[in-house]
A = this chain, B = another copy of it.
Amino acid sequence: MESAFLAWLRQRLPADVRLRLGPGDDAAVLRLGDGAECVATVDVLTDRVDFDLRRDDPRRVGRKALAVNLSDLAAMAARPTAALIGLVLPREGGLRLAQELYEGLLPLADEFGVAIAGGDTNAWDGPLAVSITLLGETTSRGPLVRSGARAGDRILVTGAFGGSILGRHFDFQPRVAEALLLHARYELHAGIDVSDGLSLDLGRLCDESDCGAVLQAAHVPVHADALRLAAERDDGRSSLEHALSDGEDFELILAVPPVAAAQLLAERPLSVSLTDIGEFVAERGLWMEDAAGRRPLARRGWEHDFS
């Protein structure tokens, strides 16, 4: 129901000239009074959904809560500046938990130049929820949005996909520096980060760009974790299926015009891998191509379920 709710909400919200970009992208872009632009995003992480305090170290939880927001700013090619931290703590053990969450997120904040600007710390008789709002600024190239992909653009991705549940969903490196570098040096048309699943987030980018995409099955970078998970679970889902739908990879999907894509792949300016996995097409829809031909690709991934 999450996407149904978002559709309702976007229709319900009035237009506002101060929103260069409102709900529907990885972050909002606000025009401030004096022409400056402020990028803002919020993510709420909850116990037993995004982590499980019965087994996960609160420091890793704190790190993840900030990292997922950093990944949203990476998807906008925006520079992070400041964070506000809202905590809802269980009463019992809340003090130590709060301190450990901060101990986990502060080194990451330092690494990415994020000032902790403020927060709100609450306690209740419920489980932990962590809400982080991250603010940032666009560069002179403006924000990288979801809506700019065009038919003929190449689909480039950073890193590899699948099996993040084995631990990478805590320890991933948000692609902020990578996005800033690529956005500064190459012509990028659109971008999104993979939080909920490669096929699902690619589909979202296509929706906003009013286009479709064809993936080359053999080119999708499957993470070693996806291979391990497929082998361990033995539930009939292949490692490629894990790569397409597991989510929480927090890698980037970029729409890049062919000339820039060729240049980029020749120059390889990043330390992380960059792979061409297919092409954006005019017709709406997702397809997968392999030796057997082209077939429709279902969007699969994580969506919050409520009704």
State the A residues within 8 Å of B (CB).
1-2, 4-6, 8-9, 12-14, 16, 18-19, 22-23, 25, 27-28, 30, 32-36, 38, 40-44, 46-49, 81-82, 84-95, 98-99, 102, 106, 110, 115-127, 129, 131, 133, 135, 137, 304-307
Contact between B116 and A13, CB atoms less than 8 A apart:
yes
List chain B residues, Cβ under 8 A from A28. Answer: 82, 84, 117-118
List chain B residues, Cβ under 8 A from A4. Answer: 95
Contact of A1 among B33, B94, B304 (CB under 8 A): B94
Q: A14-B110, A95-B5 in contact; A44/B118 too (CB < 8 A)? A: no
List chain B residues, Cβ under 8 A from A92. Answer: 306-307
Tell me the nearest residue of chain B to A79, going by C-beta.
B33
Contact of A38 among B13, B38, B41 (CB under 8 A): B38
How distant is the Cα of A115 from the Cα of B18 in the complex, in angstroms? 8
Q: What are 5 sample pairs from A and B whose C-beta atoms fall under 8 A apart? A: A34-B36, A44-B88, A44-B129, A49-B123, A86-B86
How distant is the Cα of A2 from the Cα of B94 in the complex, in angstroms? 10
Q: Shortest beta-carbon distance, A96 to chain B, in Å?
A: 9
Choose among A49, A88, A95 the residue with the greatest number of B CB atoms under 10 Å from its CB: A88
Choose among A38, A86, A131 the residue with the greatest number of B CB atoms under 10 Å from its CB: A131
How distant is the Cα of A46 from the Cα of B85 in the complex, in angstroms? 15
Contact between A124 and B49, CB atoms less than 8 A apart:
yes
How distant is the Cα of A118 from the Cα of B21 in the complex, in angstroms? 9
Q: A1-B94, A98-B5 in contact; A40/B115 too (CB < 8 A)? A: no
Contact between A41 and B115, CB atoms less than 8 A apart:
no
Contact between B307 and A129, CB atoms less than 8 A apart:
no
How distant is the Cα of A253 from the Cα of B260 in the complex, in angstroms? 58
Tell me the nearest residue of chain B to A36, going by C-beta.
B36
